[in-house]
């Protein structure tokens, strides 16, 4: 079957070609035409505005292909989330690989003679990404703990862990979260305790706990609200969340931003 898309492919179209060849149409042939070409060649269009396989409901074309072909694979769903962040402006960014993947795909197109060569090179990139994410998924299942880290271990990480555990319990997700600090205070933030109690939640820790190397052995994912000391930086998968207002100034605003990011994280985990 022949497929057609605009020329000068990037992160989304490169991924779509890989997906089509791997899961949809192993004998697919691809045509690349200048943007705006009318009429299109006789082929199935994708990532062309108005076509069946294009951006829908704020998601990338890769995501649409998964939905339209009823492909249920959590690793592919994770890749769709990464491409969403790389290709579409997001209110909340939780995929650290997105920017790098976008840069790599753009670079591949620049060093390739044409789109055919670019997608052949990109094919290896997406094979490698799928393999690495598959490995990470296995490790996550073996070590079902997520660690939230803020500098003092007394506010943002405490809120994040409490709300993550609430969402995980509601959805029967086999993961749990704990809170840690790089330079922990002696006690939890009073505003954090009061806010969580008002929300019907309890802190995961009674006092701030220092992040240790032993903690890292129990997790494959750390989400930070601060910079980590060098001895921790290369130990596991690390994501950084910024843009959270100080809890000391407004608990509700800080909580709402954290919960929004947690909802995005849950969508990525579930695919």
CA distance 195 to 199: 6
| Sole residue written with tokens 């790599």 | 104
- What does the pLDDT average to over 186-202? 89
157 or 77, higher pLDDT: 157
CA–CA gap between residue 92 and residue 221 (Å, rounded) = 18
List the 29-33 sheet strands across, edge first.
29-33, 2-6, 44-45
Q: How many CA atoms lie within 13 A of 202 on its CB side?
A: 4
36-94 residue pLDDT tens? 999 999 999 999 999 999 998 888 999 999 989 988 877 888 898 889 888 876 544 55
Which 8-state DSSP code applies to residue 5?
A: E
Whole-structure pTM value: 0.55
pLDDT of residue 131: 86
How wide is the angle at C-alpha 170 spanned by C-alphas 167 and 176, nearest 5°? 55
- Return the number of other C-beta atoms located less than 10 Å from residue 62's C-beta: 30
Q: Which domains does the chain have, with CATH numbers?
A: 2-139 (no CATH), 143-265 (3.40.50.2300)
Structure confidence at residue 140 (pLDDT): 47
Q: What pLDDT does 256 receive? A: 96
Tens digit of each residue's pLDDT (9 = 90 or more) over 112-155: 999 999 999 999 999 999 888 876 554 444 455 789 999 999 99
Model confidence at 18: pLDDT above 60: yes
The per-residue pLDDT for 49 is 93
pLDDT attached to residue 220? 67
């Amino acid at each position: 079957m022949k497929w057609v898309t605009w020329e000068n492919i990037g992160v989304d179209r490169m991924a779509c070609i890989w997906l089509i060849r791997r899961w949809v149409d192993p004998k697919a042939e691809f045509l690349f035409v200048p943007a705006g070409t009318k009429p299109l060649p006789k082929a199935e269009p994708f990532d062309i505005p108005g076509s069946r396989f294009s951006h829908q409901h704020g998601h990338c074309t890769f995501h649409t292909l998964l939905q339209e072909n009823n492909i249920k694979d959590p690793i592919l769903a994770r890749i769709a989330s990464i491409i969403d962040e790389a290709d579409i402006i997001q209110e909340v960014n939780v995929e650290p690989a997105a920017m790098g993947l976008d840069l790599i795909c753009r670079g591949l197109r620049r060093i390739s003679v044409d789109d055919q060569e670019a997608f052949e090179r990109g094919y290896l990139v997406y094979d490698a990404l799928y393999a690495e994410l598959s490995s990470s998924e296995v490790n996550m299942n073996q070590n079902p703990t997520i660690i939230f880290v803020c500098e003092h271990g007394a506010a943002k990480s405490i809120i994040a862990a409490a709300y993550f555990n609430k969402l995980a319990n509601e959805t029967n997700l086999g993961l749990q979260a704990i809170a840690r600090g790089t330079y922990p205070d002696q006690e939890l933030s009073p505003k954090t305790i009061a806010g969580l109690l008002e929300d019907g939640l309890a802190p995961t820790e009674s006092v701030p706990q220092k992040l240790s190397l032993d903690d890292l052995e129990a997790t494959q994912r750390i989400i930070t609200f601060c910079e980590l000391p060098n001895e921790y930086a290369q130990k596991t998968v690390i994501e950084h969340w910024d843009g959270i207002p100080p809890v000391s100034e407004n608990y509700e605003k800080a909580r709402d931003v954290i919960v929004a990011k947690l909802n995005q994280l849950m969508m990525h985990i579930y695919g």
